Structure formats: structure tokens, C-alpha cells
Amino acid sequence: MTCTLGIDIGTFESKGVLVDQNGRILAEARHPHKMLVPRPGWAEHRADEDWWGDVVRITRAILATPGVSARDIACIATSAIGPCMLPVDAAGDPLMNGVLYGVDTRASAEIAELTGRIGADTILDRCGNALTSQSVGPKILWLKRHHPEIFAKTAKILTSTSHVVFRLTGAHVIDHYTAANFSPLYDVATQDWTTALADDIIGADRLPRLMWSTQIAGRVTEVAAAETGLVAGTPVTCGTIDAAAEAISVGVRHAGDMMMMYGSTIFMIQLTAERVRDARLWYAPWLFPGVHASMAGLATSGTLTHWFRDQMARELAPETAFATLAEEAAASPACANGLLMLPYFSGERTPLHDPLAKGAFYGLNLTHGRGDMYRALLEGIAMGSAHVIDCYRDVGQAPGRVMAVGGGTKNAVWLQSTSDFGGVAQILCDKTLGASYGNAFLAAVAVGLADPADIDRWNPAVRRVDPAGGPDHDRHYDLFRKLYTQTRDIAHALG
């Protein structure tokens, strides 16, 4: 039986899934890990222990499933959180923890300096993105300045997926979609590395080889086979960032299609017929040549629900805490009895791009309970998402189909609030495994076992969440959106 394996490394958990040629799930596994926050504004993972270690554990768990054979795996595709910054030595060994994506704001000074030196318009024109905490280039410069002893030993700068693919195949590669986040080191017009804008960061020879996501990067080595139980010689794709694989998993493939990913952060990807040039949003070539993507992401969302559970619901059993909190939030009325929450607990990514923005609960009084606070938290994240959707509308890219995916979609209040505040319908698909399932599909595409259009058959739509609507409802939500906007702008200015 021919099958494909997809593995995804997330912020707090990794997942793997084995599927047959029709998308039927044969086996799955997952493994948790922690996000390290050694200092305020920093976010890290241990590359070998968390990224590669999870690949080994998940692969072995899947291969232990009765009836599953590693010899049946035709191709492997991986994804991971990103963009990350990981320096490795000549042997490919990590020289420090992996520095995570936009939630890590350590390079704020380098962002400001590079923007001032190169010019914001020049960066946007050449790189497609303003320099923000999502950009890898400033983090490399931060490493060079603050840890010259590590930089001197650095043979390559990898991202999370690159490291996993290297451990599987021995190849140092990166897909174009991920590489576009290495601003100011990637030129979107030539789709190649460039040092023309800043030759003092790092040489292009110390960056991975560029590929498209479904190209074969290499084959499983004997060493990797011994660790994982895979068969040496099995093809491995270049891979991509988790959010892109998740978008694939729910059928995002036409201009106007948007994915709304409810994970540790909210992340949105919208495909467009042409490049979108706007400093509030991110841009990248899509996973396949000739297609464009416009992205956005909040700094905190699922991480906020974890924070609330850990701080405000310590007496609840961890395995049932979120269900209990969801019930309490559902018992609170829309707009949480007048309680407002700003979700900027780790600054904000799009569209504010402000690492100093602060979170807040506004309007608290002695009648409010934990359910009100949790509902306000979910609605605050929803209003942050609505702020981004407004930006898409501003640039003439109002979303057509919005495909909702991720663990947060299980929370009815969060899902409905996003439709209500954003004014969009959301579509949910049958299978909710996310990026790992998208990877299994991309692996099938890579070796000719599937066509990109087959995803609609692999994972059909099953449910739609419309804005609640109605005159009273709309007036209520419009008023609360105005209050949120005013409070947000004050917090942004004070940050």
C-alpha cells in the first residue's frame, strides 16, 4: 500500500500523519514541547531536542502502528514554525537555541537601524515586506553583534524546517515562501538571495539553497534511517512553514482564498493574482511558481488562552480546563458584559508591527467573573483578527472564501466572534489535523500521487459559520469595535 508521511513542528506540539493515496488516515502521532522564554520579548526552541527529537519520536510512534510499514512510504514532507533563525556549524550542529518567528522581538534595534539605513520604501519594493520582528535578517545581525563568538563558528543560518530536512537528508535547503521572510536578504523580483541592500549581515553562501516546496531536497540518509526507523533513500521534499502547509490542508489554492489559522497565534494567508504591496501585511511567493501570497499574524492568541488557563484557572484539571473555560465564556453575553481586552501581551505583529504594544483588560468592575474575562479575551483576539481583515479590504483584497483551521476552531465563542467582528463567513473542513495533513498531501503531489486539485476530495468542507447579524446585534458589535479601536490606538501610542 503506497502512502505518504507528513510531519509538522508547532510552537507547543508536533504532529505527524500517515495517509494513503486517497487521503485516508492510516496512523497519526503527536508530541508536546515547550516554548522557552528566557527573557521578556525572547522566544526559543531547542533545535535538536524539540524539532528533530519530535520527528524521531513521532515517526517511530507512527511506524509502530499495526499494519504500517516504512517501506510503503513513497515520500515525506515536513513543515515547522517559522521563520526561525538557527546558526549551525560546519557539521550542521546547532550553536544555540533556535530563535522563533515574530513573537521574538530581540532584534528591535537592528530593525530600526536597517530600516533607517536602507529606507522603508526600498525594503518594501525589493523584499516585499517591511522589516519587522518576523524578519530573519535583523536577527542574524543581532547574533553577529551580540554573540560574535557564535557567529564566527556559523557555517549556515537555517530555519526550523531547514534543520529538520538537514537531519533527514544532509541537505541545507529552504523554500521560497519561507525565504521571503529573511528580509532584507531575499529579492522578490529575482526570487534569489541578495546582499545588495545590506552586505554587513551575512554572505549568501551561508544561507540555504532555494527550492520550491514540493521539490525533492534529498533522500533519507542511513544515519536518519537508524534514528527514525524510516527506510534509507525515501524522498524528502524541501518543506515549508507550518501555516502554508495548513492552508494547503483545507483547500486554499485560488486567488481570494484565505486561511484563518487558530493556533498559538492567529495566522492568515490569502492567495492573490498579483503581488500585494502594503507595509502592514507580509508578502511571499506561494509554494508553487507564479502564485502570490499575502500574510498576516497576531503575536498572541492561543498563547493567551494558555496564559489565562495557567494564571486564572489553576484549580482546573489541565485536560479539561479549556472545555470548562469555554463553557464559562459561552455563559457570558456577547461583548462580555462591557469588558474589553487588548491582546497585545507580546507586542503586536500585523498590522501594528509594534513590539512595545501592551495588553489590557478595560472596563473591569466587581460584577465581572472569570467567564466574562475569558470571553473578553477571545473577543479581543477576534477584534485583532478583524483589524487585519479590514487591511485586506483596504488594499482591495477582501477575502472570498475563509477557511478556518486549528485547535481554536473547537471554541464556538472564539469562532463565532471572529465571524461577527470580522464580518466574514468561515468554512470548516472534515479533517482538522492541520499542517501535518497538508504535508502528507504535498508529499503526494511531489511524487505524482496527487494533483493540487485533489485536496477538495481529500478534505471536503463540512460546516460554515456566518456572522450572526441582525440590527441590534450589528449595532452592539459596531459600537464595541469602535471602543476597541479607540483603546487600541491609545495603547499603541503609549507603547
Average pLDDT score over residue span 233-251: 96
- Measured from the Cβ of residue 425, the count of other Cβ atoms closer than 10 Å reads 14
Report the amino acid identity of residue 490: I
Write the pLDDT tens digit of every residue in 51-60. Answer: 999 999 999 9
Q: For residues 476 and 195, which has the higher predicted lDDT (pLDDT)? A: 195
- Measured from the Cβ of residue 121, the count of other Cβ atoms closer than 10 Å reads 10
Q: For residues 412 and 489, which has the higher predicted lDDT (pLDDT)? A: 412
| Environment class of 375 (CB within 10 Å of its CB; exposed 0-12, middle 13-18, buried 19+) | buried
CA 214 to CA 226: how far, in whole Å?
25
pLDDT of residue 17 exceeding 60: yes
Confidence (pLDDT) at 477:
73
CA 442 to CA 449: how far, in whole Å?
10
Write the pLDDT tens digit of every residue in 377-436. Answer: 999 999 999 999 999 999 999 999 999 998 899 999 999 999 999 999 999 999 988 899
Confidence of residue 156 (pLDDT cuts 50, 70, 90): very high
Confidence (pLDDT) at 438:
97
pLDDT of residue 238 exceeding 90: yes
CA 38 to CA 45: how far, in whole Å?
11
Phi-psi map region of 41: left, alpha, beta (phi>0 left; psi -120 to 50 alpha)? left
Which of these ranges, 301-310, 395-404, 418-427, 480-489, has the smallest mean pLDDT? Answer: 480-489
Residues 6+ apart with CB under 8 A from 352: 344, 492
Q: Are 35 and 97 in contact (CB under 8 A)?
A: no
Predicted TM-score (pTM) of the model is 0.88
pLDDT of residue 329 exceeding 70: yes
Mean pLDDT of the chain: 94
Confidence (pLDDT) at 483:
81
Average pLDDT score over residue span 216-221: 98
Following DSSP, what letter does each residue of 217-251 receive, concatenated? EEE--HHHHHHH-PPTT-EEE--EEHHHHHHHHTT
pLDDT of residue 495 exceeding 60: no
CA 145 to CA 113: how far, in whole Å?
13
Write the pLDDT tens digit of every residue in 86-111. Answer: 999 999 999 999 999 988 999 999 99
Write the pLDDT tens digit of every residue in 346-366. Answer: 889 899 888 888 899 999 999
pLDDT of residue 467 exceeding 70: yes
Confidence (pLDDT) at 493:
66
185-223: burial string, b at 16+ Cβ within 10 Å, e else: bbbbeeeebbeebbeebbeeebbbebbbbbebbbbbbee
Confidence (pLDDT) at 494:
61
Tell me the residue ranges of DSSP E strands in 301-385. 340-342, 360-362
Confidence of residue 491 (pLDDT cuts 50, 70, 90): low
Confidence (pLDDT) at 261:
92
Q: Is 340 helix (H, G, I), strand (E, B) or coil?
A: strand
Q: Are 40 and 103 in contact (CB under 8 A)?
A: no
Report the amino acid identity of residue 115: T
